[in-house]
Amino acid sequence: MEYLEDHERRELWDNIQDALFNDQIDQFRAEFLEIHPYDQAKIFEEQTQDVRMQIYTYLSPEEIAEVMEHIDVDDIEEYFTEMDPRFAAQILAEISTDDAADILNELDKNQVASFLTIMDKESAADIKELLYYEEKTAGSIMTTEFVVVRANQTVREAMLHLKKEAPDAETIYYVFVIDEDKHLVGVISLRDLIIAEEDWYISEVMSDRVVSVQVGEDQEDVAQLMRDYDFLALPVVDFQDHMLGIITVDDVMDVMEEEASDDYSKLAGVSDLDRPDENAFAAAKKRLPWLVILLFLGMMTASLIGRFEETLNQVAILAVFIPLIAGMAGNTGTQALAVAVRGLATGEHEKEGIIKLVFREAGTGLITGLTCGVLVTFIVYFWQGDFYLGLLVGISIMSTLIVATLAGALVPLLMHKLNVDPAVASGPFITTINDIISILIYFGMATTFLRLHLLIS
């Protein structure tokens, strides 16, 4: 099997759809099953409901399950709704338990109850166990399809057990070791197990320095841990160290994509990213809450400008530079925000230290502010022929950039301390806050300059 481009998939489908439409089942199965399940899923998603219904009749639940495991869980509800319930239940029984639980979380509660009732009791019990755990926790993304061996087994006994259980396990690269009371006590790699002497006990060859996570641990923290330690699998335990399941690297990749999408949507000022198949009303419903909040914050900005009406009346040219001051504050604040949120997400700030970060951002704000301030001072002077106006705008720019940079860095850090998602300090939010700060600084300085000018004159 090899990677296929989109046009290659379409060409391939053109070649095999004749077999589907002419009821040549054996030919269709031979050609369709020859390609990778990911490409099967991409082809499947492009078909109409009538074609999909025909595909269901040509493939077994196990073969359809492989296709479903490569389809985004957010788009899968339509397929399980259109299938025969018994056929759908058989597919869910073939899918790994963690993926099956994710799919059921997307379905209507009545559908979930129906599928679990139809499924065989063992599969249904495993899935129900995962549905019990809160979303976005280690328990919700773990799988219960894993292999364990006992510390008092010999290597030979463990290998025989592994050979028997491996077909139903999600991964066997790490074999976890439990004691008589099912407490997690160690881990052994498949390589070490293979090269060990057959009459050695597992307790002699295992490593007892096993890293595990609690079942209620946040999935983002789990992903961070697996990334830091380069684990392929991570055991999940309860508060008494009883082993409950494992989290594999493919689950963590899904988590990282989900968390990145979630953070990006918050940085964009929406509750969730719009899906292409959503209508205008659904998309507007997600965007409106933040826009309404930002509308009121924007009214505060307008109100502040109104309070400096007397200053504007005396020097009307000041209004020309409002967009420049506010825009620069928003830009530098968003830059600092992006750095702060990324550092919190990757754990870099914990290594670096908050104090060091604050001093670095303050220094960055000072350098950028001073540079831009000097440039603007001379630009305004040569443009308007008024050095004092240039100095006013330059000092305002410098002060604004320093404050905006610190605000962009400190707001997400404060939210993190308060156990609020730092990404909530979204781009539009921090921009609006910095608009208010910049207007206060600009007109405050302008008013002070006017008073000094009057005193001098």
CA 331 – CA 317 distance, rounded (Å)? 23
So what's the pLDDT on residue 418?
73
Higher local confidence (pLDDT), 210 or 281: 210
Mean pLDDT, the chain, whole residue set: 81
Q: Would you tell me how many other CB atoms lie within 10 Å of the CB of residue 217?
A: 18
Angle at 65 between CA 230 and CA 111, to 5 degrees: 110
Higher local confidence (pLDDT), 291 or 214: 214
Q: Which CATH superfamily is domain 280-456 in?
A: SLC41 divalent cation transporters, integral membrane domain (1.10.357.20)
So what's the pLDDT on residue 235?
94
Domains 148-264 and 280-456 share a fold: no
Residue 429: is it exposed, middle or buried by C-beta count within 10 angstroms (0-12/13-18/19+)?
Answer: buried
Residue that has been written with the tokens 């789990």 in this structure: 222
So what's the pLDDT on residue 339?
75
Task: Choose the weakest-confidence range: 42-56, 79-93, 150-164, 339-353.
Answer: 339-353
| 233 CB-near residues (< 8 Å, 6+ apart) | 146, 171, 173, 174, 246, 247, 248, 249
Q: DSSP of 90-140, one letter per residue? A: HHHHHS-HHHHHHHHHTS-HHHHHHHHHHS-HHHHHHHHHHHTSPTTBHHH
Please say if the pLDDT value at position 19 is more than 60: yes
Q: How confident is the model at residue 3 (pLDDT cuts 50, 70, 90)?
A: low
Helix (H) or strand (E) holding 382: helix 354-384
Residues 61-117: tens digit of each pLDDT: 999 999 998 888 878 888 999 999 999 999 998 988 888 888 888 888 888 888 889
Please say if the pLDDT value at position 191 is more than 70: yes
Higher local confidence (pLDDT), 75 or 426: 75
Helix (H) or strand (E) holding 246: strand 243-248
Which overall architecture, per CATH, does domain 6-140 show?
A: Alpha Horseshoe (1.25)
Q: What is the mean pLDDT of residues 395-411?
A: 83
If you average pLDDT over each of 22-26, 49-53, 387-391, which comes out highest?
Answer: 49-53
If you average pLDDT over each of 14-23, 218-227, 411-420, which comes out highest?
Answer: 218-227
Please say if the pLDDT value at position 420 is more than 70: no
β-sheet bridge partners, residue 245: 236
Residues 204-251: tens digit of each pLDDT: 999 999 999 999 998 888 888 888 888 888 999 998 999 999 998 888
Task: Choose the weakest-confidence range: 23-27, 254-258, 401-405.
Answer: 254-258
In Å, the largest CA–CA distance within the chain is 100
Higher local confidence (pLDDT), 300 or 173: 173
So what's the pLDDT on residue 263?
58
Task: Choose the weakest-confidence range: 26-35, 154-163, 179-188, 278-287.
Answer: 278-287
CA 189 – CA 202 distance, rounded (Å)? 11
Residues 337-375: tens digit of each pLDDT: 777 777 776 666 665 667 777 788 888 888 988 998 899
Q: DSSP of 404-423, one letter per residue? A: HHHHHHHHHHHHHHTT--GG
CA 66 – CA 39 distance, rounded (Å)? 11
Task: Choose the weakest-confidence range: 155-164, 310-319, 357-366, 413-422.
Answer: 310-319
Please say if the pLDDT value at position 266 is more than 60: no
Q: Which CATH number fits domain 148-264: 3.30.420.40, 3.30.70.260, 3.40.50.300, 3.10.580.10?
A: 3.10.580.10
- Report DSSP state, residue 83: S
**What share of the chain in percent tops pLDDT 90?**
22
Q: What is the mean pLDDT of residues 268-276?
A: 50
Please say if the pLDDT value at position 148 is more than 90: yes
So what's the pLDDT on residue 200?
94
- So where are the chain's domains? 6-140, 148-264, 280-456
Higher local confidence (pLDDT), 60 or 287: 60
So what's the pLDDT on residue 274?
46
Please say if the pLDDT value at position 192 is more than 80: yes
In angstroms, how far is the first alpha carbon of the chain from the final one?
Answer: 85
